[in-house]
Amino acid sequence: MTNPLAGVADFFPAYWEQKPLLLSGAVSAVPMTLDDVDRMFADHLLTTSTVRATKDGRDIDTSRFTVDDTSLAVRRPESLTVIDPDRLMGEFQRGTSIGFQRIDEFVPNAAQMAQDFERFVGHPVRASAYLTPPRAVGLARHYDVSDVFVVQCVGSKRWQIWERDFPRPLPDEIFPRAKESEPDRVIDLHPGDLLYLPRGWRHSVSTGSEISLAVSFNMRTVARAHVARVAQQAVSDDEQLRAALAPEAMLDDEALVAEIKDTVAQLIAGLEALDPRVVVDGVHDLVHEVRRPTPSVTMQEAIDAIGFADEDRIALGTDVELHADELRRGLVGATPPAPFLDALRRSGGAPVPVAELRGALPAPVADAMLKKLVAKGWLRKDPGHR
């Protein structure tokens, strides 16, 4: 699989960060198929961090397509809950669009094409897939803060595109909602078509009379503004720049202007003396934050690696305590289903047979949830039993 943009000689001077480009039939082998969607459900434990469902341009309540009472949330800002494939596809049949995030961790062909794009542009690239029912609208009119390479895999989609109001938006920038107007461009994508859309171009997408599957390769742009911030942070550690403004500057604007001029002069002097290699390391850190991780092993591979058997016994992990409604390790908690906690509690602290713990979990995800709890150290296999 190769990058179809590699043959566009004027891509960087004519289109890069400037305007959309449509390449009809440019992709001979699409990065994802409907069979790949089935394999994702069969082979991987998907959670609400991976799947987003929308209808008529709005997110739908995750409780409509997640497994009842199977949160494995660590007490962090958000709760990650296991996806129930049957319930999710039921929502799809009722007109819900499904977005799969980070599919380059699950779908080999998508991972390969993401890598090809990444080598071409130099910036990190991640992949997402969008499965949309017939005659449906996905997300409401919006713009992305990353350049996007879209490959239509199954069915067709109509893209309505508006000229951008703001050039090259950064991830932390939010611009006002644009006034309603007719789109500046309308593009129909069919299987094998590739669309390049620079960040900041507002768009709305809808399907035709068939199911649509498309993959978006999102470039995580490292901009000059990021370099400037890294450099500024490096010189801001100087003691003189950390000094408080003079009291008179807080009371008089003329004195404040003089302080600002002096501060800017110190900042410029610091930047001129800065070793660029310090900034290089900072840019590498930015890239590392969004790089693709090692591709996910399948659910079955993970289970086989741990080797659960009915006669195995499982005990609480090191320093893990069993509370009324959670497992706790220091300040961090995990919340398996209540019947599972009850099964652990009935043992009085002794190791519990795997068969008993399986029976306390929803059958479709029982082994996967046990694997996750063991892998994260909440539980451990008891080496004294087999």
**pLDDT digit string, tens, across residues 204-255:** 999 989 999 999 999 988 888 888 888 888 888 788 888 899 999 999 999 9
Query: Is 294 inside any structural domain?
Result: no
Secondary element (H or E) of residue 357 = helix 354-359
Q: Give the model confidence (pLDDT) of 17-75 as tens digits.
A: 999 999 999 999 999 999 999 988 877 778 888 899 999 888 998 888 887 544 444 44
How many domains are contained in the chain? 3
Q: Which residue has the higher pLDDT, 296 or 123?
A: 123
> Could you count the other beta carbons within 10 Å of the beta carbon of residue 212?
25
Q: Which residue has the tokens 């977005």?
A: 99
Same domain, 192 and 249: no
Q: Model confidence at 193, in pLDDT bands (50, 70, 90)?
A: very high
Question: Which one of 20-34, 160-174, 288-302 scores highest in mean pLDDT?
Answer: 20-34
Distances (CA, A) of 365 to 45, 70, 144, 302, 303: 8, 9, 34, 13, 11
Same domain, yes or no: 18 and 140: yes
Query: What residue type is assigned to position 156 of the chain?
Result: S
124 shares its domain with 196: yes
The residue range of the domain holding 364 is: 299-381
In a domain, 257, yes or no: yes
Q: How many other CB atoms are found less than 10 A from the CB of residue 332?
A: 13
Is 254 within a domain? yes
Question: What is the structure's pLDDT at 95?
Answer: 93
Q: Give the pLDDT score at 245.
A: 92
Domain boundary among 219, 253, 271: 219
> Residue 149: which of 255, 50, 3, 287 has the closest Cα?
3
Do 277 and 312 fall into the same domain?
Answer: no
72 with 173, same domain: the answer is yes
C-alpha–C-alpha distance, residues 195 and 188, integer Å: 10
User: What pLDDT shows up at residue 287?
Assistant: 74
147 burial type by CB count under 10 A (0-12 exposed, 13-18 middle, 19+ buried): buried
Q: Kindly state whether residues 111 and 181 are assigned to the same domain.
A: yes
Q: What strands, in cross-sheet order, belong to the sheet with 332-334?
A: 321-322, 327-329, 332-334
Non-local CB neighbours of 213 within 8 Å, separated by 6+ positions: 32, 33, 34, 37, 129, 130, 131, 132, 153, 154, 155
DSSP per-residue string spanning 169-214 = --TT---PPPPP---SEEEEE-TT-EEEE-TT-EEEEEE-SS-EEE
Contacts of 83 (CB under 8 A, 6+ apart): 41, 46, 47, 48, 50, 51, 65, 66, 67
Statement to judge: residues 25 and 70 lie in one domain: yes
Inter-CA distances, 43 with 39, 200, 245, 255, 329, Å: 6, 36, 59, 66, 30
**What is the pLDDT at residue 103?**
92
Q: Is 175 found in the same domain as 124?
A: yes
pLDDT score, position 70: 46
Same domain? For 257 and 140 the reply is no
Same domain, 209 and 237: no
- 374, 327 contact by CB (below 8 A): no
User: Residue 128 domain-assigned?
Assistant: yes
* Mean of all residue pLDDT scores within the chain: 85
